[in-house]
């Protein structure tokens, strides 16, 4: 393999070196603020994902790290070194572009060796390293082809090999999987993650696909409208979203209006119209009054004669193979989605049936708007 392998340190934040430090970065296009004071600390050897809806500024942030955009305000540091003044060719960072941008007039091998050639690596070593990279992405036999003679998935891997060949400190990937079909995308997820682990290079990965983000990342930054909403590992992001945007953007969830009566030690008693009171996980500084809670569909189960936390009328049953999705209606008219595992014992609920549901311990989360 030949690449410097750094041992993974797990998630003990303070021990890790900072690979990319982004401090209060603002980027304006004319009067439009694409980034509104973004601060992030990306650790060495981390698979870090920027996740957010279209137009939230993910690409802009990535381009700022790569050096294709000058930021309006703020600092970007790479391993402690301020890189604001450096042109792209002097930043030890490489990019995998969304449309790959393989040089169409160069062979696959020349594409992969390009970065090394520009760095002045000798011909022999260049060839050896290019061959090694092509082997790593399983394209050894394709070195002499032109990019246009490869399939989309193969081009994708050439783009990866090309960006990894100069051994950057940080690899930036802008939605590299979005042009691939589902099967290939799922295979590439695993491959990318393995590549990150074997090379030990810090990956900054951009996507608007939350499933992709959850599957691959060590940590995720959820962005919306030029701002970072939450940073955390996939589990935290999914199970403890800090606000309504994050809860709704990551996965499927039920957001229900409730009245909060008393809050103490991260717990709150909430009243949901037509149900008995529930205990919800709440942020410390929450004040009593009208709020929303989030309940994930898979955290609900059929009461089956036991004591029900909620009752709802089934409106539709959607058969999804591994799962059953129930679209139901609460007594106050709010809709509720429930996901049940499709096990042998499950008899299909009927449309119009009134059913009792139980909520898993700790599954009700109060949201800040």
Partner 1 sequence: MAARTDIRRYMGFGALTALCLTVLYVPLIVVAVYSFNASRSITAWGGFSTHWYVDVFVGPEAPIFRAAAWNSISIAFLASTAATVIAVAAAVAMVRGGRFRGRQTSFAIISLPLMVPEIVIAVATLIFFTTIGVRTGYGTILIAHITFCIPFAYLPISARLQGIEDTYELAARDLYATRWQAFRLILLPLMMPGVISGWLLAFIISLDDFIITNFVKGAGMETLPTAIFGSVKQGIKPNIMAISTLMLAVSVIFVTLSYLINRIGQKAR
Ligand X SMILES: Nc1ncnc2c1ncn2[C@@H]1O[C@H](COP(=O)(O)OP(=O)(O)OP(=O)(O)O)[C@@H](O)[C@H]1O
| Per-position DSSP letters for 120-149, written without gaps between them | T--HHHHHHHHHHHHHHTT-GGGTTS-GGG
By CB under 6 A, which span of 53-61, 129-137, 161-169, 323-331 interacts with ligand X? 53-61
- Based on the shown chain and the rule CB under 5 A, indicate whether residue 59 belongs to the binding site for Mg ion: yes
Q: Which is nearer to ligand X, 55 or 257 (CB)?
A: 55
Q: Which is nearer to ligand X, 2 or 55 (CB)?
A: 55
Exposed / middle / buried, residue 281 (Cβ in 10 Å: 0-12, 13-18, 19+): middle
Residue list 218-237, contact with Mg ion (CB under 5 A)? none
The closest of 113, 114, 119, 153 to 137, measured between CA atoms, is 153
Torsion of CA 133, 139, 143, 144, to 10 degrees: -170
- Based on the shown chain and the rule CB under 6 A, indicate whether residue 56 belongs to the binding site for ligand X: yes
**Residue 97 interaction partner, one of Mg ion, ligand X, partner 1, none, beta carbon < 5-8 Å per kind:** partner 1
**Whole-angstrom distance between the N-terminal and C-terminal Cα of the chain?**
48
Q: Beta strand pairing status for 254-264 and 289-295?
A: antiparallel
**Residue 54 interaction partner, one of ligand X, partner 1, Mg ion, none, beta carbon < 5-8 Å per kind:** ligand X
Least CB distance to ligand X at residue 223 (A)? 7
The set of long-range contacts for 193-198, using a CB threshold of 8 Å and a minimum separation of 24, is 193/47, 195/136, 195/160, 195/164, 196/47, 196/171, 197/8, 198/1, 198/3, 198/5
CB neighbours (10 Å) of residue 361?
8
Residue list 252-291, contact with partner 1 (CB under 8 A)? none
Q: What x/- string results for residues 150 through 179 when contact with partner 1 is judged by CB under 8 A?
A: ------------xx--x-------------
- Based on the shown chain and the rule CB under 8 A, indicate whether residue 84 belongs to the binding site for partner 1: no
Q: What x/- string results for residues 82 through 121 when contact with ligand X is judged by CB under 6 A?
A: ----------------------------------------
Q: Characterise 53 by phi-psi region: left (phi > 0), alpha (psi -120 to 50), beta (else).
A: beta
In this structure, what token pair is assigned to residue 135? 């082997």
Cα distance between residue 221 and residue 260, in whole Å: 29
Cα distance between residue 324 and residue 322, in whole Å: 7
Choosing from 2, 5, 11, 68, the residue that interacts with partner 1 (CB under 8 A) is: 68
Q: Which is nearer to ligand X, 160 or 222 (CB)?
A: 222
Residue list 30-49, contact with ligand X (CB under 6 A)? 32, 34
Cα distance between residue 342 and residue 322, in whole Å: 5
The residue sitting closest to Mg ion, measured at its beta carbon, is 59
With CB under 8 A as the rule, give the number of residues binding partner 1. Answer: 25
Q: Which is nearer to partner 1, 161 or 216 (CB)?
A: 161
Q: Which is nearer to partner 1, 88 or 257 (CB)?
A: 88
Q: Which is nearer to Mg ion, 59 or 210 (CB)?
A: 59
Least CB distance to ligand X at residue 49 (A)? 13
Exposed / middle / buried, residue 183 (Cβ in 10 Å: 0-12, 13-18, 19+): exposed
Q: Which is nearer to ligand X, 95 or 111 (CB)?
A: 95
**Residue 11 interaction partner, one of Mg ion, partner 1, ligand X, none, beta carbon < 5-8 Å per kind:** none
The residue ranges that bind ligand X (CB under 6 A) are 29, 32, 34, 52, 54-60, 208
The residue ranges that bind Mg ion (CB under 5 A) are 59
The residue ranges that bind partner 1 (CB under 8 A) are 66-68, 87-90, 93-95, 97, 99, 101-105, 114-115, 118-119, 148, 162-163, 166
């Amino acid at each position: 393999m030949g690449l410097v392998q750094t041992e993974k340190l797990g998630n003990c934040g303070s021990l890790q070196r900072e690979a990319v430090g982004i401090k209060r970065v603002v980027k304006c296009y004319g009067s439009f603020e694409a980034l509104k004071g973004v601060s992030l600390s990306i650790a060495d050897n981390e698979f870090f994902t920027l996740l957010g809806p279209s137009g939230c500024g993910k690409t802009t942030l990535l381009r700022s790290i790569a050096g294709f955009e000058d930021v309006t305000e703020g600092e970007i540091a790479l391993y402690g070194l301020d890189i604001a003044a450096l042109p792209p060719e002097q930043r030890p960072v490489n990019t995998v572009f969304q449309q790959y941008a393989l040089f169409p007039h160069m062979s696959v091998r020349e594409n992969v060796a390009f970065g090394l050639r520009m760095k002045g690596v000798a011909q022999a070593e260049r060839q050896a390293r290019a061959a090694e990279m092509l082997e790593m992405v399983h394209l050894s036999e394709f070195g002499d082809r032109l990019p246009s003679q490869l399939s989309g998935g193969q081009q994708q891997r050439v783009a990866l090999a090309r960006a990894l060949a100069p051994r950057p400190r940080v690899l930036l990937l802008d939605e590299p999987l979005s042009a691939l079909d589902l099967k290939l995308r799922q295979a590439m997820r695993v491959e990318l993650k393995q590549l990150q682990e074997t090379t030990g290079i810090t990956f900054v990965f951009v996507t608007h696909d939350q499933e992709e983000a959850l599957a691959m990342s060590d940590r995720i930054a959820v962005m919306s409208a030029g701002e970072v909403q939450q940073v955390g590992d996939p589990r935290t992001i999914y199970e403890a979203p800090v606000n309504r945007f994050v809860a709704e953007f990551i996965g499927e969830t039920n957001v229900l209006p409730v009245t909060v009566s008393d809050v103490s030690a991260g717990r709150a008693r909430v009243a949901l119209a037509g149900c008995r009171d529930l205990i919800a996980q709440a942020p410390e500084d929450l004040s009593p009054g009208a709020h929303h809670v989030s309940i994930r569909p898979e955290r609900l189960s059929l009461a089956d004669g036991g004591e029900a936390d909620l009752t709802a009328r089934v409106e539709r049953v959607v058969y999804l193979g591994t799962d059953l999705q129930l679209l139901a209606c609460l007594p106050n008219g709010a809709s509720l989605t429930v996901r049940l595992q499709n096990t042998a014992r499950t008899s299909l609920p009927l449309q119009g049936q009134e059913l009792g549901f139980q909520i898993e311990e700790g599954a009700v989360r109060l949201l800040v708007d």
